[in-house]
Structure 1
């Protein structure tokens, strides 16, 4: 059976998505597996030998912030954002297009604001030496990760709207 011929723009479109998505998926999967292994090992050692992993909650807290930062752009690029369009589907097409653009721009502004706040919080956390309670792991990298994830999400959201 012969496959349908893809147009050049569609191939380029898929290529840039894969280029962005693949490293995020690999890093996100690795983080989730590390978190899963840490939680499982901590629970097993706690239950069987009454010897939990020292600082497991601190490690989990930091790793989880990185997992969230990675998942935000993945949600945008895979089109998994929440959209309730029951009422807007009844509107004329021009109104739907306007509302889609308005929603996208509001999302970009909110994500950009989140990126800016996370970045400024990272600078404050670094200057104050903010860290986890037990292991004293710095919070700065977590804030930087959330800032980068939010900024990438804002860019991807705008690019997705422009490509459509």
Structure 2
């Protein structure tokens, strides 16, 4: 069995979370490919028949939101996010590492709070019967999926922060 090189997300978030993050990113990528196919078919239908796929813009909106939320955990775990360190560049590396780890954990907490509020929003959308404009398809399920994915982002960020604080060595 060949040894697999350690990925940055495994080093920062741990191998289990890294594996989940990679799986979610692949799912998000597949959703984006499906969106591209849907838009392509709709445009081709408009060219050929003068009418595209009804509600394609709404389907793209829901699917793009889910795809984006699928990509967030890997982006965070691999340090793919933008970090502005204007005020900490002159600090010792260990101090920067501690500050980054604290902010990572705090971001995880905020993401978990946002996830909770998204769950509340999904419940309210379900109760009110909110649907898409073109099709009577309810929207609460997409918000609920994004809430779960936001919770996974929160868990990833918290894990990265706590692992960073427990690390005996600097990255």
Residue 159 in structure 1 maps to residue 159 in structure 2: yes
**TM-score, with structure 2 as normaliser:** 0.80
- Of the structure 1 ranges 100-109 and 73-82, higher mean CA displacement relative to structure 2 is found in 100-109
Q: How many aligned residue pairs are there? A: 156
Aligned match of 1:51 = 51
**TM-score, with structure 1 as normaliser:** 0.83
Using a 3 Å threshold, how does the CA distance of structure 1 residues 127 and 36 change in structure 2: closer, same or farther? Answer: same
Q: Extract structure 1 runs of 4+ deviating beyond 6 A.
A: none
Q: Distance in 2 between matches of 1:18 and 1:37?
A: 29
Contact 2:42 2:53 (C-alpha < 8 Å) held by counterparts: yes
Aligned match of 2:147 = 147
Query: RMSD value over aligned CA atoms?
Result: 2.4
Q: What residue ranges of structure 1 are gaps of 5+ in the alignment?
A: none
Partner deviation per Cα, 1:18-52 (whole Å, 9 max, x = no partner) = 52133213311210111000111111111232021
Q: What residue ranges of structure 2 are gaps of 5+ in the alignment?
A: 165-171
Contact 2:105 2:162 (C-alpha < 8 Å) held by counterparts: no
With a CA cutoff of 8 Å and minimum separation of 6, indicate the structure with the bigger relative contact order.
Answer: 2
Contact 1:118 1:144 (C-alpha < 8 Å) held by counterparts: yes
Q: Distance in 2 between matches of 1:19 and 1:98?
A: 25
